[in-house]
Structure 1
Amino acid sequence: MSLIEVTDLRVSYPGKGFRAKPIEILHGVTLDVAYGETVGLVGESGSGKTTIGRAVLGLVKPSGGSIRFAGQEISSLTGTARRGLASHLQVVFQDPYTSLNPSMTIGDILSEPLIVHGVSSGDARGRVRSLLDQVGLPSDSIDRLPREFSGGQRQRVAIARALAPGPQLIVCDEPVSGLDLSTQSRVLDLFLDIQRETGVSYLFISHDLGVIRHISHRVTVLYRGELVETGPTDQVTSAPEHPYTERLLLASPVANPVRQKEKRDKRRELLAADLVYSAGLGGTEEITREGRQ
């Protein structure tokens, strides 16, 4: 049995203007995450990947389909029942600068979710020191403010906060996109180390197929609210079957300038082919807009 099962998920947002029809963002997406597994969810901006994460976390209400966690239907849970899942379902957001309260010390930030779940202040303090060690931060961090840390260090604090209640699943929403490349690598390795130590599962959301390849067991590719390809990471990232997945792979930067130019030229060719095909279907405007991203 999978830890999280998303079946035929549909999400709609209200349209703009009086009597505007709702706009469907997700068109029947199905995916699952096993215990101790990382599933990478990849797609360009606007593909709907973050909406899936928000639906799993209960931050948006599905208009159709189901979400099951450890066998329990959770898509319709509200109030106390939903809050009861918080210790099992956690999130690491994209921006480490805004996801931490600037007026609270690191010790207070990490203690808060523990105290909410009934842990005493003294026990919470001890757990916080253990969490800081787990994410590679010095013990004196406990009395410091977020502004005293670098971006990578703040993201480590955010990871520690997600780990505090001992979750089974962490939704990672673009957690390294705001970091430089060397810091990205260290934070990704931290995610891997934590998974080996704790057995936690990740739904890892990113626009960068290179990042997804580094951390995921399986990959799910989302395009305009629809799942277009899924499979083992090695298979999807080395021999993609869908042209859109190939474009994403070509968009990942490489250190070799010659190879980077070859990838850029190839991606332009694929975009041009899409434009010609779309023109025949009356969808030129949408593809052109995507090509400018």
Structure 2
Amino acid sequence: MTANILQVEGLKVAFPGRGFRARPIEVLHGVDLHIGAGEVVGLVGESGSGKTTIGRAVLGLVKASGGSIRFHSEDITDASPARRRQLAKQIQVIFQDPYSSLNPALSVGDILSEPLIVQGATPRDARKRVVELLDRVGLPGDAAQRLPREFSGGQRQRVAIARALAPEPELIVCDEAVSALDLSTQAIVLDLLQDIQRTTGVALLFISHDLAVVRHVSNRVAVIYKGNIVESGSAAEVTSRPQHPYTRRLLFASPVADPVQQRERRAARKQLAQMGLLDTRSGVTVSV
């Protein structure tokens, strides 16, 4: 059995309410999640479900109001800023938007070498590593001298992937890493991520609203609805034989090429919406 490198237990996150003396609004209600070394775990849910908040809590970008987050055996739930900077070598992130996640004033070479130099690499070693990274993500050698605006969306996301790989992390949080790309570019970037994951053994927390995309890359899948994990299991099981009505709704929302099957999915999704089914295991009502 693969040892867990990330263990999230009973995670709660609350944001301040609006207005004077407003009560905090809890958006995560006790989430449990684990990721083994070299494993790809898909976290899927629609907008507002809390999936990105989980990723940001793991990265230390939002504060947990309850529960714990452990990396290996260390509790990092309330890690200090100094410790978080150290953890950045082991836990990296690929954000959704390749246009805003890269500094437009820096060359690609500087974007990739800066974190390496901060972590102690010499400029010469950093430049050598940049060449390796650009080759790994399929970008030409002269890309290091160019600015992010000179690249397409898919190429910028390749730069973002290279930046995440630079310190050789154990875990990468992919927060809607392909949702801003067109379908053909999505497929290319997903294949690249899979190839990198296989060759490096890095673990991925792959966050997405698209069950079809999650199925393509994940070993296991967890489905989140309104701050609760309502279903989890192997990717094949959850995406082909979903048990929870909300997971079935996500599956029916994924487009397929067959017009007859697509019409059937639309009808099934409409039926689920009308029924407003309740899963007694989770206590979550699923309705549209």
Aligned position for 1:6: 8
Counterpart residue type for residue 39 of structure 2: E
Q: Which AA in structure 2 matches 1:149?
A: F
Q: Which residue does the alignment assign to 2:245?
A: 243
Decide which of 198, 201, 221 is 1:199's aligned counterpart.
201
Distance 1:82 1:93 in 2: 18
Output the CA distance in 2 between the equivalents of 1:155 and 1:257: 32
Secondary structure at the aligned position of 1:84 is classed as helix
SS at match of 2:172: strand
Deviation at 1:71, TM superposition (A): 1.0
Q: How far apart, CA to CA, are the structure 2 residues paired with 1:98 and 1:259? A: 38
Equivalent AA in structure 2 for residue 128 of structure 1: V
Task: Give the TM-score, by structure 2 length.
Answer: 0.95
The worse-fitting range, judged by mean Cα deviation, of 248-257 and 171-180 is: 248-257
Alpha-carbon displacement from aligned partner over 1:223-277 (angstroms, at most 9, x marks no partner): 10001000000000110010000000111111222322221121111111118x7
- Partner residue of 1:280? none
After TM superposition, the runs of 4+ consecutive aligned structure 1 residues lying more than 3 A away are: none
Gapped regions of structure 2 (runs ≥ 5): 279-283
Q: Write out aligned runs for 1:266-277 (5 A).
A: 266-274=268-276
- What displacement does 1:160 show? 0.1
The AA in structure 2 aligned to 1:32 is: H
Find the counterpart in structure 1 of residue 281 from structure 2: none
Q: Find the aligned partners of 2:84 and 2:112 in 1 and give their Cα distance.
A: 21
Instruction: Report the count of equivalent residues.
Output: 282
Q: d(CA) in 2 for partners of 1:121 and 1:109?
A: 13
Distance in structure 2 (CA, Å) of the matches to 1:115 and 1:101: 17
The aligned counterpart of 1:254 is 256
Is residue 32 of structure 2 the alignment partner of residue 30 of structure 1? yes
Q: 2:4 aligns to what SS in structure 1?
A: coil
Paired residues for 1:106-185 under 5 Å? 106-185=108-187
1:171 maps to amino acid: V
Aligned to 1:19: 21
Residue type at the aligned position of 2:37: Y
Aligned twin of 2:90: 88
Separation in structure 2 between the aligned mates of residue 91 and residue 98 of structure 1, nearest angstrom: 14
Give the Cα separation in 2 of the matches to 1:153 and 1:126. 20
Cα distance in 1, alignment partners of residues 208 and 197 from structure 2: 18
1:3 aligned counterpart, secondary structure? strand
Whole-angstrom CA distance in 1 between matches of 2:267 and 2:181: 27
Counterpart Cα distance in 2 of 1:215 and 1:152: 18
Match of 1:171, SS state, is: strand
Please give the alpha-carbon distance, in whole angstroms, between the structure 2 residues aligned to 1:79 and 1:92.
Answer: 20
Separation in 2 of the partners of 1:196 and 1:99? 25
Aligned partner of 1:47 in structure 2 is: 49
1:102 positional shift: 1.0
User: Amino acid of the residue matched to residue 84 of structure 2?
Assistant: R
What is the TM-score normalised by the length of structure 1? 0.94
CA RMSD of aligned residues (A): 1.6
Quick check: which one's helix share is greater?
A: 1
Counterpart check, 1:232 vs 2:230 = no
Query: Distance in 2 between the 1:104 and 1:138 partners?
Result: 17
Find the aligned partners of 1:170 and 1:55 in 2 and give their Cα distance. Answer: 13
1:157 alignment partner AA: V
